[in-house]
């Protein structure tokens, strides 16, 4: 048999097929069976994790990692069956992985942070969080980034490493939140009357919870006012509306009850030197003398009239 211009005896071709054909068939069989086994293992793992009520992101991540690792193992086993030295191949892959890891340090840090976020589960999709002075609703989470939908209708993509390296506030983590307000009243106002007005406002709002008991007390004797503090509890979903309505009703009811809400004031005292005082004292005399002087004659008009008389 002639192949590419070379004559190869048929006996050698038969011997090659007998020796390596079986290895090739076995490698193909390993690949096919390994692929089917990897898919079956992934399917079973997903069902087990769903029964355990794990987060969908965790289920997806673990199943993908398990599936890829099984395929790599199957591929190496097939190469080994063909007689390929897999030890050197693994060393090459390891060196390549190290080089890629050094080149993608930032991405790998986001990857590690993504695993921490998924495993620790400090927040979930739909929660309202605050990260790095930015507040929004968690719209999507993956291994590298987290997507927030802000209240100004903006889409914000945050690297996961930024989330794990900063203070994270999960605003909707608990079903109830406390509303804290500081209300200032004048020093001449009746504190008991002001407290009664605040208590009636709190009682009239059905969204304010009875337990824990609402608190009203004096917080501080400030420079311009006596500060009263209000602490009430409400559902997390009602927190913003309750806070806004409380401020509105406090202003309205205080106006009806004649209770003042002071604002900062400053008393200024101006002192003058003796020389400045003499100058200021002399100004009224100068003004009086100016008023007593006869009005000035229209010089320009007289000059024009004289000129006309001479020319005539």
164, part of any domain: yes
CA distance 259 to 227: 13
Q: Are residues 73 and 28 in the same domain?
A: yes
Q: Are residues 235 and 183 in the same domain?
A: yes
Q: What is the pLDDT of residues 37-93, one digit of tens each?
A: 999 999 998 999 888 877 777 787 788 888 988 988 888 888 877 777 666 666 766
Query: What stretches of the chain show up as alpha helix (H) in DSSP?
Result: 10-51, 56-81, 86-103, 105-120, 160-164, 191-204, 239-257, 274-292, 299-311
Which residues span the domain enclosing 293?
Answer: 274-306
CATH number for the domain including 211? Answer: 3.30.70.100
What's the pTM?
0.59
pLDDT score recorded for residue 203: 94
117, part of any domain: no
48, part of any domain: yes
258 Ramachandran zone, left/alpha/beta (phi>0; psi -120 to 50): left
- Mean pLDDT for the stretch of residues 183-195: 93
pLDDT score recorded for residue 264: 73
pLDDT score recorded for residue 304: 46
Indicate if the pLDDT at residue 10 is higher than 80. Answer: no
* Partner residues linked to 147 by β-bridges: 140, 157
192, part of any domain: yes
- Mean pLDDT for the stretch of residues 130-142: 89
113, part of any domain: no
Domain termination residue (choose one: 46, 71, 103):
103
Q: Are residues 99 and 12 in the same domain?
A: yes
Q: What is the pLDDT of residues 191-231, one digit of tens each?
A: 999 999 999 999 999 999 999 999 999 999 988 899 999 99
40, part of any domain: yes
Number of domains, the chain: 4
CATH number for the domain including 66? Answer: 1.10.287.1260
For the chain, what is the mean pLDDT?
81
Could you give the 3-state DSSP secondary structure of residue 212?
coil
CATH number for the domain including 154? Answer: 2.30.30.60
Q: Are residues 161 and 185 in the same domain?
A: no
């Amino acid at each position: 048999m002639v192949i590419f211009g070379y004559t190869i005896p048929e006996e050698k071709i038969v011997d090659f097929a007998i020796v390596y054909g079986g290895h090739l068939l076995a490698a193909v069989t390993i690949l096919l069976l390994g692929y089917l086994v990897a898919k079956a293992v992934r399917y079973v793992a997903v069902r087990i994790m769903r029964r355990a009520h794990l987060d969908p992101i965790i289920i997806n991540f673990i199943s993908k990692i398990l599936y890829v690792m099984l395929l790599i193992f199957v591929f190496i086993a097939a190469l080994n069956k063909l007689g390929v030295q897999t030890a050197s191949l693994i060393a090459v892959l390891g060196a390549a992985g190290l080089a890629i890891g050094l080149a993608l340090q930032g991405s790998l840090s986001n990857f590690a942070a993504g695993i921490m976020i998924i495993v620790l589960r400090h927040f979930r999709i739909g929660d309202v969080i605050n990260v790095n002075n930015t507040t929004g609703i968690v719209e999507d989470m993956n291994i590298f980034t987290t997507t927030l939908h802000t209240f100004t209708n903006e889409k914000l993509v945050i690297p996961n490493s930024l989330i794990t390296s900063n203070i994270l506030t999960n605003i909707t983590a608990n079903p109830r939140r406390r509303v804290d307000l500081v209300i200032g009243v004048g020093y001449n106002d009746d504190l008991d009357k002001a407290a009664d007005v605040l208590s009636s406002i709190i009682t009239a709002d059905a969204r304010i919870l009875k337990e824990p008991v609402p608190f009203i007390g004096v917080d501080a004797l400030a420079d311009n006012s006596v500060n009263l503090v209000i602490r009430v509890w409400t559902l997390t979903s009602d927190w913003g509306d309750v806070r806004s309505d409380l401020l509105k009703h406090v202003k309205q009811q205080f106006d009806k009850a004649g209770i003042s809400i002071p604002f900062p004031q400053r008393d200024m005292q101006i002192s003058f030197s003796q020389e400045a005082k003499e100058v200021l004292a002399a100004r009224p005399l100068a003004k009086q003398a100016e008023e007593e002087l006869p009005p000035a004659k229209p010089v320009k008009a007289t000059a024009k009239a004289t000129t006309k008389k001479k020319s005539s």
